[in-house]
């Protein structure tokens, strides 16, 4: 569902992504690790067609994001580190609004069902988002992905700033999306969550994918050692 081939992007003299090759199939969670400036966010922005590549292709469902940006966006949901919602609207109203932008009309009861499926309490669904914690806002993003039947999730540091319980809840939601057949690409600094949640782990350094691992094949300790070795190289 996500195919990146020979992707390169520079900003001035800085090479943000260099000859990147990466694939995420249906039912996979690919965790992309790397320090700040490693190229993780630029990779996601290329898939979103927010920036244009110099070379290579970024495809969603076989479609080139640079050539068919609207069609590729129909297949995905993007959840950034800080999800932008309308604070004066409730969770239900936000979900109905953003689904409406995608041409999906939801009733209040449908919206509540999706929000509850994403782990939000029913009473919270009718409260203003301005009073939500970060974890609650991220659940609205997952509810949007469920309501839109998104085939692809692109996540940029979605658990940053979450407490351990909220981070664990979010990981469970991602696993549920994986079981639905969604392809998930998550940029993260959280080595523990990458090991526990991911099916594949990629390590980026200075714009390049320097190592790719099956999460089941490494221990937490091994992953930390491999990661630090690359960061110190």
Q: Are residues 143 and 156 in the same domain?
A: no
Q: Are residues 88 and 56 in the same domain?
A: no
DSSP per-residue letters across 174-209: HHHHHHTT-EEEEEES-HHHHHHH-SEEEEEETTEE
Q: Are residues 60 and 175 in the same domain?
A: yes
Q: 204-229 pLDDT, tens per residue?
A: 999 999 999 999 999 999 999 999 99
Q: Pick 128 or 83 by higher pLDDT.
A: 128
Q: What local confidence, expressed as pLDDT, does residue 233 receive?
A: 75
- Domain around 7: 2-75+151-232
Q: Are residues 131 and 216 in the same domain?
A: no
State the Cα–Cα distance between residues 220 and 180, nearest whole angstrom. 27
Q: 148-169 pLDDT, tens per residue?
A: 988 999 999 888 877 888 888 8
Q: Are residues 134 and 156 in the same domain?
A: no
Q: Which two tokens stand for residue 82?
A: 């800080």
> What is the percent of the chain with per-residue pLDDT over 70, rounded to a whole number?
100
* Confidence (pTM): 0.90
Q: Angle at Cα 148 formed by Cα 110 and Cα 140, nearest 5°?
A: 65
Tell me: pLDDT of 40 over 90. yes
Q: Are residues 69 and 91 in the same domain?
A: no
């Amino acid at each position: 569902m996500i195919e990146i081939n020979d992707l390169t992007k520079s900003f001035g003299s800085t090479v943000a992504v260099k000859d990147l090759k990466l694939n995420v199939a249906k039912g996979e969670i690919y965790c992309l690790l790397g320090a700040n400036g490693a190229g993780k966010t630029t990779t996601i922005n290329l898939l979103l067609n927010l920036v244009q590549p110099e070379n290579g292709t970024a495809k969603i469902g076989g479609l080139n994001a640079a050539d068919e940006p609207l069609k590729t966006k129909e297949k995905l949901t993007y959840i950034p580190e800080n999800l932008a919602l309308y604070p004066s609207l409730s969770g239900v109203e936000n979900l109905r609004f953003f689904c409406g932008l995608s041409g999906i009309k939801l009733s209040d009861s449908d919206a509540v069902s999706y929000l509850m499926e994403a782990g939000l309490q029913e009473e919270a669904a009718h409260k203003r988002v301005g009073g939500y914690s970060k974890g609650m806002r991220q659940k609205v993003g997952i509810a949007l992905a469920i309501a839109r039947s998104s085939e692809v999730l692109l996540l940029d540091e979605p658990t940053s700033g979450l407490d351990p319980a909220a981070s664990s809840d979010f990981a469970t939601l991602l696993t549920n999306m994986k079981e639905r057949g969604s392809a998930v690409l998550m940029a993260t600094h959280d080595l523990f969550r990458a090991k526990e949640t991911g099916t594949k782990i990629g390590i980026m350094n200075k714009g390049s994918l320097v190592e790719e691992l099956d999460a089941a094949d490494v221990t937490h300790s091994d992953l930390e050692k491999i990661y630090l070795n690359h960061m110190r190289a």
